[in-house]
Structure 1
Amino acid sequence: MGGAEFILAINLLVAGLLAAAFMTVSFYDVGRASARWLVFGYLLGMVYFAVEFAIPVFDNARPAVVAGFAVFLGATIAFNGGLAHKYGVAPPWVPMLVFLFAAIAAVYFAEDLPRQSLARMMAYQLPYAAMQFVGVGIVWSSRQRRDRLDHLLMAVLAASALQFVSKPFIAHALGGWGANPQAYLQSNYALVSQSLGTVFGMAIALLILVILVRDVLAEVTLKSETDTLSRLLNRGGFERHAEIAMRDAVRKGIPVALVIADLDHFKSINDSFGHASGDRVIEAFAGFLRDAAADHHVAGRIGGEEFAIILPGTNLAAARLFAEGARSAFGALPIDCLPADHRCTASFGVAELRLAEGFIDLMRRADEALYQAKGSGRDRVRISMGSKAGVATPDRISGRG
């Protein structure tokens, strides 16, 4: 077995292992089709490597060469379908399938060109490059928030596309890709080509695998931090995200305020109309709070009928206006499970982060303001006043130092 054949065998095994890995991820990613399309793509990759092994046994290799090309290009299309589902982009199936059939036809007729001609090599390699660039476009066009891993994936996909573009020139520099298809695996170019394919294929596969696992873990974490009834953060999730938001606000030198709300006479709603009605009131207030919150705000249900929202970039006066608006709007909101003349209200406590203050201190002061609001008649907003002294630091926010 030559060097290229050995690498081809490794690629066949690796494709199978990656298909198994993505299949495992798909068990935890049942709500989306991304991992399943990737499984299909790597299974097609196995078929391609098997066809490459079989080419030397054919006297007329054209059908096998064209079939191998079609299968591998189909694998890149399936991979792009997985990428599209992962990044929330509509898969461009029609353009990709039209391109697939056009490329197959081009390769079929290119087989009549001289074996070492640049045009023949380009017909074989450029479609692969095009599909890799489509993958870059899919990730780039996503409206999802991208981090370093996503940008690294785009860079590697682009580099992989360029290596496909370079392969005809590499083949020319190395004396061609064999006198005929049967001799391909014995050529120096085959060794280089298969090695490049292994490096880029593994890099792309590992990156997308890490990205999928990252997203699955993030979803599991989000579910553990989400209150099922209100669909807001639970207390643990709120405290964690609130500290992150406050730390970021301190680093940027902008104000941050906390608003705590408590539904008025909630026990009497449960006693008079039943717990199902009480749950509906909680859902209604949570939905109202979710709609009122901006993307950079952090809202959560921190107790039975108690809610909180962190407002980065908001000072005490603006936070009071936010709370007053929420109080007035919720008081006028009809709840479908309650009598038409019954209105629910909430009381609000507001505090702005002081210099040299931690998260626990801010929560305590907002709570005190809330109890003042409830003690003075409910359905009102009270603020926590106080002088500012010292210097706020990220360590102080988390209660350390």
Structure 2
Amino acid sequence: MSGANFILLINLSVAGLLAASFMAVAFHDVGRAPARWFASGYVLGMAYSAIEFSIPAFTDARLPVVTAFAVFLGATIAFNVGLARKYGVAPPWSPMLFFLVAATIVVYFVQDLPRQSLGRMMAYQLPYAVMQFVGLAIVWSSRQRRGRLDRILMAVLAASAVQFASKPFIAHALGGWGANPQAYLQSNYALVSQSLGTVFALAMALLTLAILVGDVLAEVTSRSETDTLSRLLNRGAFTRQAEQAVLGAMRQGVPVALVIADLDHFKSINDNFGHASGDQVIEAFAGFLRAAAAGHHVAGRIGGEEFAIILTGTNLAAARLFAEGTRSAFGALPIDGLPADISCTASFGVAELHPGETIADLMRRADEALYLAKNAGRDCVRVSAGPGGEWSSSAIAINSRSA
């Protein structure tokens, strides 16, 4: 068995293992369309290797050669569709399928050219290079934030495109790719070509697997940190992310404020109208905080009917205005499942981080302000005193009841 035959068998096995790996990722979450497309690409890669391995058994190799070409080009298209699904880009179906048909027709007719002609070699390799550049363009055009692995994947796609485009010249330098298709696997070029194919196939597969697994882990983490009903962070996740937000604000030298809210008379809503109506109230209030957070702030459900939001880059006065706006809008919001004459309200405590304080100090003072709001009759906003407990004249001015 020649070295190229051995590498081809390795490629067949590796493609099978990679297809199984992507299917395992897809099985973990049936919504993982990218993983299914990547798996399909490597299944087609297996088929390509099997066809290449069988070519020496054919007297007239035109059909298996053209079939192998089309199957491998189809594998690159499936991979590109997986990339498009992963990066939220519309797959360029029409151009890719048209290119597949056109390139296959060209390869069929160039079989009549001299085997060692540069034109024939380029007709066979350049379409693969084009598909790799299409994959690169898909990742590049994505509006998703690209991390280090995404940038490495783009570099590997570019390098793979270059190696496909350079293969005709490599073949020429190594004395050609065999006197006929049956002799291809005995050539030095076949050994180099199949080895390069293995390296790039593995590199792209491992990178895409790492990216997909990272997405799965991030989703699992998000689910474990997210309150199911409100779709806000749970208390533990809120505390951790609030600490990071506070540290980031301190490093940047920007203000940071905390607003804690408690739904008024929530138990009576559950008792009088049922837990389903209570859930609607929680979902409605959480919607205000989700909209306010919008990727810039940290919001969470820290108790049964208690919520909190860290507002970075926000001072005490602005945080108080945010709380007032939320209080007013929530009080006017009709809630599904409740009579039209029943309005829901919330009480708010607001505090701004002072130098030398920790997130625990900030939460304690916001809690104290919330306690004052509830004692003042609820449906109002109260702001915290400074760390020493003194109330400045400005704090007193904005501490008046808003209801």
* Fold in common (TM above 0.5): yes
Match of 2:22 in 1: 22
Match of 1:119 in 2: 119
Cα deviation, residue 387, structure 1: 6.0
Q: Distance in 1 between matches of 2:18 and 2:387?
A: 60
Contact 2:22/2:35 (CA < 8 Å) preserved in 1?
yes
Moved more, 226-235 or 138-147: 138-147
Match of 1:334 in 2: 334
Contact 2:259/2:323 (CA < 8 Å) preserved in 1?
yes
Match of 1:306 in 2: 306
Moved more, 96-105 or 133-142: 133-142
Match of 1:355 in 2: 355
Name the amino acid aligned to 2:37.
W
Gaps of 5+ in 1: 389-401
Match of 1:131 in 2: 131
CA deviation string 1:332-369 (max 9, x = no partner): 11112111121111111111222222111111111111
CA deviation string 1:193-214 (max 9, x = no partner): 1111111110000000111111
Q: Distance in 2 between matches of 1:127 and 1:245?
A: 49
Cα deviation, residue 306, structure 1: 0.5
Match of 1:234 in 2: 234
After superposition, residues 118-267 of structure 1 pair within 5 angstroms as 118-267=118-267
Q: Distance in 2 between matches of 1:180 and 1:380?
A: 86
Q: Distance in 2 between matches of 1:111 and 1:383?
A: 81
Compute the TM-score of the two structures, normalised by the length of structure 2.
Answer: 0.93
What SS does the corresponding residue of 1:14 show, helix, strand or coil? helix
**Deviant stretches of 4+, over 6 Å:** none
Match of 2:103 in 1: 103
Moved more, 201-210 or 179-188: 179-188
Name the amino acid aligned to 1:332.
A
Q: Distance in 1 between matches of 2:138 and 2:264?
A: 49
Q: Distance in 1 between matches of 2:292 and 2:359?
A: 23
What SS does the corresponding residue of 2:382 show, helix, strand or coil? strand
Match of 1:295 in 2: 295
Match of 2:395 in 1: none
Q: Distance in 1 between matches of 2:354 and 2:101?
A: 66
Name the amino acid aligned to 1:187.
S
Match of 2:364 in 1: 364
Cα deviation, residue 143, structure 1: 2.4
Share of identical aligned residues, percent? 78
Cα deviation, residue 70, structure 1: 0.4
Match of 2:73 in 1: 73
State the aligned residue count. Answer: 388
Q: Distance in 1 between matches of 2:121 and 2:80?
A: 23
CA deviation string 1:70-96 (max 9, x = no partner): 000011111111111222222222221
What SS does the corresponding residue of 1:262 show, helix, strand or coil? strand
Q: Distance in 1 between matches of 2:195 and 2:346?
A: 66
Name the amino acid aligned to 2:274.
G
Match status 1:382 vs 2:363:
no
Contact 1:29/1:35 (CA < 8 Å) preserved in 2?
no
Moved more, 10-19 or 272-281: 272-281
Match of 2:391 in 1: none
Q: Distance in 1 between matches of 2:113 and 2:252?
A: 63
Match of 1:58 in 2: 58
Match of 2:93 in 1: 93
Match of 2:284 in 1: 284
Match of 1:398 in 2: none
Q: Distance in 2 between matches of 1:71 and 1:134?
A: 17
What SS does the corresponding residue of 1:122 show, helix, strand or coil? helix
Q: Distance in 1 between matches of 2:311 and 2:304?
A: 22
CA deviation string 1:137-196 (max 9, x = no partner): 221222222211111111111111111111111111112111111111111111111111
Name the amino acid aligned to 2:330.
F
Moved more, 143-152 or 15-24: 143-152
Name the amino acid aligned to 2:150.
D
Contact 2:257/2:351 (CA < 8 Å) preserved in 1?
yes
What SS does the corresponding residue of 1:382 show, helix, strand or coil? strand
Q: Distance in 2 between matches of 1:124 and 1:247?
A: 56
Name the amino acid aligned to 2:335.
I
Q: Distance in 1 between matches of 2:385 and 2:170?
A: 73
Moved more, 33-42 or 140-149: 140-149
Contact 1:132/1:158 (CA < 8 Å) preserved in 2?
yes
What SS does the corresponding residue of 2:257 show, helix, strand or coil? strand
Name the amino acid aligned to 1:8.
L
What SS does the corresponding residue of 2:152 show, helix, strand or coil? helix
Match status 1:47 vs 2:47:
yes
Q: Distance in 1 between matches of 2:383 and 2:107?
A: 74
